[in-house]
Amino acid sequence: MLVAVLQIGAIGLILGVSIGIANKYLEVKSHPLVEAIYNELPHFNCGACGNPGCLAMANTVVDENAPLTNCKPGDAEMRKTIQTILDDYKSGKLVFEGDTKKPS
């Protein structure tokens, strides 16, 4: 019985360490502009915009120039802040570290 418990524990430890290593090396990095827009959204993840959540909405705004009015819970101040972020980024006033390509 003790041997079985030790074997299961060892397997769990090995799998846990493997997942931790894989997470470190296979991490998907998001664009800092998407993160900046996501931080301004209301985080209701309601889906009213037609996206499954606020992060998907931020990606849609950056990649497909989706209108900010799609975010129903967001107010005019939120839309103005996000539009300022987008305008500053497109004009070159806002530059992110390691950024080599501007969205169109």
| pLDDT averaged per 10 residues in sequence order, the chain, 104 residues | 96 97 89 93 90 94 92 93 93 76 53
User: In sequence order, which residues have a C-beta less than 8 Å from that of residue 38 and are 6 or more positions away?
Assistant: 54, 55, 57, 58
What is this structure's pTM?
Answer: 0.70
> Looking at residue 33, what is its pLDDT?
93
The residue with tokens 């360490």 is: 17
**Would you mind telling me the total number of residues written for the chain in this entry?**
104
> Looking at residue 68, what is its pLDDT?
92
Find out whether 66 and 26 touch, Cβ atoms under 8 Å: no
Rg (CA), the chain: 20
> Looking at residue 27, what is its pLDDT?
86
Compute the distance between CA of residue 61 and CA of residue 39 in angstroms, rounded to an integer.
Answer: 13
User: In sequence order, which residues have a C-beta less than 8 Å from that of residue 63 and are 6 or more positions away?
Assistant: 103
